[in-house]
Structure 1
Amino acid sequence: MSVRDTSLTEGEVLRFFTSLSNWGRWGDDDRLGTLNTITDEVRAAAAASIRTGRAVSLSRDIDPRTPDPLASGNSVVQRFTGTNEVEEHFGRPLRFDAVTEFVGIAAHGSNTHVDGLAHYSWDGHNYNGFPASETTSLGGARKLSVHHAALGFLTRGVLLDIAALHGVDWLGRGQPVTPEDLTAAERRQGVTVRPGDALLVHTGNAARILHEGPDAVGPAARQAGLHASCLPFLRERDVAMLGNDGVQDVQPSGYGPDLTRPVHTVALVALGLWLVDNMELTELAAVCREERRWEFFFAALPWRMVGVTASASNPVAIF
């Protein structure tokens, strides 16, 4: 099947679980998935590409006053507590004070976050055949925790600006990004996605929601994003990480409820492809145009939290 074919039936998408699978490719006990493509050589080459040192953050603030700016789910509840332990220890008032806080965070949601390989399952299995039952509310993710990505995502980043390809600030709600869009953006920008890359796809989705507000909440919201037909492109290019200024998938997906988010499901389960949702890519797109470069050093460091399926992150692009 051509990666340019967007007229996929649900049955054809389901076959991607087999035809695009990376299960066993890096060993039966592999926990890293596509992070295996970020080799020492890939990291060194990416670092050597830095020219000016100009840096761009690809995340928004995590703000408890606006915990769900994209209507994708609350991201944080924060509580502050003043501390008096020092004063109590010395038995008198001191000239300095300190504050500590408790932060409760739901990484999946409107904030920029890394999706780990335990996040989605299909027919009772996660990536590489690990049982989905290994992830529980009490025990956490025992096989595919985010902490396995301890080396982070340090690689070449490539931005494909699909909004600019169509001459708009943001794509229409529910507008799919096709494989033809991806390859046309490569040609327009003079860049080619290659193994080990962090591929970032700019649709303008987050900017549109922040400007106009969401039209619905969660899976009911119409959002621009990748069509399921892009999955062979991701597998053939051996992308290490996929980032998007939305939830990756076009919504609605065009398929039944089992494939509400086929890019999420096939990417995480079959490819072992790590995802970064709800990135801030508007400034990056502008800087890429100014620099006339759509490739850069990319760094995202998820927290080394054991037993979790996601981590908040502040990815950075360096030119």
Structure 2
Amino acid sequence: MSRWVNRPEGSNWGDFGPDDQIGRLNLITPEKIRAAAAEVKTGERFCLSLPLDLPGGNILNPRRYPPEISPTMRSQNRPNMNYNLSQDDPNMIDVICDDMVVLHTQYSSQWDSLAHVGQEFDADGDGRAEIVYYNGYRGGEHIRGPEDEGGSRALALGIENMAAAGVQGRGVMIDLEGAFGRAKTLVGYDGLMRVLETDNVVIEEGDMICLHTGFAQMIMDMDGKPDKDKLHNSCAALDGRDGRLLNWISDSGLSLLIADNYAVEAYPSRAGHGNCAFLPIHEHCLFKLGIHLGELWYLTPLNNWLKANGRSRFLLTAPPIRLPGAVGSPANPVATV
């Protein structure tokens, strides 16, 4: 039985099958991966993640905190760090360390799963809106909250689906900092098209788009002591209220949308009219099109190398952690040029 009668205007629900959970990752075909592999010319590699304890503190999002690392515990509540096993057996000479981490999955460089943003939408066609996510998966049934049976967990659209798909393909860099500097700038369709034309950037179906703004480099330079006012008033970000930009995201065939800033799009977005999404690109990508979003990636060293070598394309390998039920994940992407 179909989960929906109505699908949102401009969405692709059902286009990849009634039970699809990976959205436009389906566009990265074996042929696209072979084309991505052909972008490797020198074999140099770039780590595209921030250290997971950055940005530092919780000024970017008061609900997200840095990781907390602690040792696991042995018998008699002894910490398993520099633990000499001779305490258990005098014939043993080994020393062992073993730890655990409390991790906010979307604190630093991250992936948003398709369960990250849904909407109240009348998918049943009965005149009443219900909580739904990409491809009609339901809040309470498929994406469960703390009040639901079993507690909070994404039984559908969780990040493990993205991980199992194997996130690898051709990355394409768009250098917004090169065009707009680090001044706070809303980039709509016209501005983005000028950058693509000026830098001779070509985007094909299945490409993974990376937007370089310099924001993550600012975080690195602040070294765990982020300046809230400076960060919130710097760098370019996409204007999610620009309808032509949203149409371009739909029509371009891009498979994933990634940026080195906090939310890919301007946050908060420009004021909308009537009932509107708080983060319109999140709604358009995660809810309507099944496009995973990557945020707070560290793109500056790779961008600089690509610019110096007259390139914009590279092989990108970027799986999330395979954590069933999670709605987001740290990312540790690797670009190979």
Query: Which TM-score bucket, shorter chain as reference?
Result: 0.7 to 0.9
- Pairs aligned (count): 294
TM-score, scaled relative to structure 2: 0.80
What is the match of residue 46 of structure 1? 36
Distance 1:87 1:264 in 2: 54
Give the 3 Å change call, closer, same or farther, for CA 41–69 of structure 1 in structure 2. farther
1:44-91 superposed Cα distances (whole Å, 9 cap, x missing partner): 111122110111111111138x644772331412112443594455x2
Q: How does 1:83-232 map to 2 (within 5 A)?
A: 83=80, 84=83, 86-87=85-86, 91-92=89-90, 94-109=92-107, 111-123=108-120, 124-133=131-140, 134-135=142-143, 136-137=145-146, 138-149=151-162, 150-166=164-180, 168=181, 170=182, 172-173=183-184, 175-211=185-221, 213-215=226-228, 221-222=232-233, 224-228=236-240, 229=242, 230-232=245-247
What is the match of residue 323 of structure 2? 305
Distance 1:79 1:200 in 2: 34
What is the match of residue 245 of structure 1? 260
State the Cα distance separating 1:151 from its structure 2 match: 2.8
Whether the aligned pair in 1 keeps the contact of 2:85 and 2:93 (CA below 8 Å) is no
User: How much is the aligned-residue C-alpha RMSD, in angstroms?
Assistant: 2.4
Distance 1:34 1:209 in 2: 30
State the Cα distance separating 1:271 from its structure 2 match: 0.9
Distance 1:69 1:131 in 2: 31
> Secondary structure in 2 aligned to 1:117?
coil
Distance 1:60 1:180 in 2: 30
Name whichever structure is richer in helix by fraction: 1
Amino acid at match of 2:18: D
1:67-120 superposed Cα distances (whole Å, 9 cap, x missing partner): 44772331412112443594455x2163321100011111112x1011000001
Give the 3 Å change call, closer, same or farther, for CA 217–36 of structure 1 in structure 2. farther
Amino acid at match of 1:208: M
What is the match of residue 273 of structure 1? 291
Amino acid at match of 1:233: W
1:167-199 superposed Cα distances (whole Å, 9 cap, x missing partner): x2x2x23x2121122222222222211111110
Amino acid at match of 2:96: A
State the Cα distance separating 1:276 from its structure 2 match: 0.7
> Secondary structure in 2 aligned to 1:160?
strand
State the Cα distance separating 1:18 from its structure 2 match: 3.4
Identify unmatched segments of 5+ residues in structure 1: 1-16
State the Cα distance separating 1:209 from its structure 2 match: 4.7
Query: Percent identity, aligned pairs only?
Result: 26
TM-score, scaled relative to structure 1: 0.84
